[in-house]
Copies of this chain bind each other. A is one copy, B any other.
Amino acid sequence: MEKVLKEITPKSSDFSQWYVDVIRKTDMVDYAPMKGFMVMRPYSYRIWEFIQEAMDRRFKETGHENAYFPLLIPEHLLAKEAEHIEGFSAEVAWVTMGGSEVLSERLAVRPTSETIIGAMYSQWIHSYRDLPVLINQWANVVRWEKATRPFLRTTEFLWQEGHTVHRTAEEALRETRQQLEIYREVIEEYLAVPVVQGVKSAGERFAGAVDTYTLEALMGDGRALQAATSHFLGQHFSQAFDIQFLDEDGVLKHGWTTSWGSSTRMIGALIMVHGDDKGLRLPPRLAPIQVVVVPIGRGEERKRVLEHAQTLVAQLGESVRIKLDDRDEFTPGYKFNDWEMRGVPLRIEIGPKDIARKQITLARRDTGEKTSIAENQLRLRIPELMKEIQTELFRQAFEFQKTHSYNVDNYHEMDQYGYRGFFYADWCGSEDCATRLKSETGMTIRCLPFDEFPVTGRCVVCDEPSQYRALFARAY
């Protein structure tokens, strides 16, 4: 029992080490032999598959289709949109050789695909009848990062990137907001991670965007994580790539484009929002194993209990992702800790006395609560419990976010909270103030939240009249 727990650094004493311990000890990820790269092992990849399913279904329901564009992008294409290349040039991995030949033009391993997709769209779109183009891509991207951390910032990561073209600015803006809402729904309802929605300030925008919409989540250490973004690109890329269409009125016009992305980074949020000193706590909708059954019994009883447990698992297996832990080299106590560490939402314990009483013991991972119920109620009770645990994890996270959100008038007030949490404050709109705050405190403007309105107060940094109500935090 001690053995497992000792392996994880307590969350409260060193959050950063706790995170690394948790993701490695639970077999979620491993470090690859190249700096900055990680391996997603089956236990985390399965979570990614569930997230993909939830996202992909919503993308298709809103009329999007998947496609696949090349991994490698010629340098001249990447450079076509000026702000875009400026934003990404330092992060690009370059292919310079094919076989034994030196290439005449370097190829970028895609850091994102606006440019190659823009080049293709300019050939596919001719008439207003060809619009809207609503395409999504599931892909890997590479960004040459200096400081990396599994899921949160890795040299390579998996994501989806949507790229759409519309006839009007209004339609493109609607698309941008619609996709943000899909992200919010999946992140809050599947990952059980509450988010604040808003628009990025100019200094925090995607390179080449007119506006970037974002979802910001609060991690267990009081730092913010950008969970997904949706960009209104205006006509920046359609002008750079000649994406034009002949409109119904006979006039040749540039299309209005959007792009939106979410990545394996979300799994990092999931871990940092719900995890505790014992390890992971996984929301049932995304848990690879939703229920684990641990048989308890020694000697002759062992076989009888195991058979009983096998029958139970076979009965429940159709309605829930259930696993029987029949390993004979570990004690029940060890198994309890092992599965708690791996975040399995519900544990069923079953021993000789339970069998005699026709009952079983349930242990919830979210609350630690243990109860006994009649075995014949299990089939109905488990789906209810899955919903309850899903809701409870969201409730706890929402409560944490609420109690760690502060309204401040002057940025020195942030100091008393150790700069941990969501800080709502007025901002004059000047990038100088944002830069000054960042260099002094490490706080950045996460977004201008949709739900907040500019107050007639004064800038939290310079004390001049404010234009915006902004959300500030230290961010991953």
* Residues of A near any B CB (own CB < 8 A): 30, 32-34, 37-42, 45-46, 48-49, 65-72, 74, 77, 89-100, 106-107, 109, 116, 119-120, 123-124, 129, 135, 139-140, 142, 144, 155-156, 158, 329
Contact = CB atoms under 8 A, between A and B. Distances in A.
B97 A93 contact: yes
Contact of A91 (B34, B65, B99, B116): B99
Nearest to A65: B42
B93 A94 contact: no
Given A30-B120, A96-B96, A100-B90, A68 B107 contact: no
A66 to B, nearest CB: 5
A171 to B, nearest CB: 20
A438 B99 CA distance: 25
Nearest to A109: B95
Given A98-B144, A144-B99, A329-B129, A158 B68 contact: yes
A69 B77 CA distance: 28
A65 B90 contact: no
A72 B37 contact: yes
Interface SS of A by simple majority: mixed
A157 B413 CA distance: 55
A67 B39 contact: yes
A71 B135 contact: no
A89 B98 CA distance: 10
B129 A70 contact: no
Nearest to A56: B49
Given A46-B65, A46-B66, A67-B41, A142 B94 contact: no
Contacts of A129: 329
A347 B197 CA distance: 46
A142 B72 contact: yes
Given A91-B99, A95-B95, A135-B42, A140 B69 contact: no
Contact of A33 (B77, B89, B106): B77
Contacts of A38: 70
A72 B140 contact: no
Contact of A40 (B33, B68, B72, B77): B68
A129 B124 CA distance: 54
A158 B71 CA distance: 11
Contact of A32 (B66, B116, B140): B116
Nearest to A38: B70
Contact of A70 (B32, B66, B98): B32
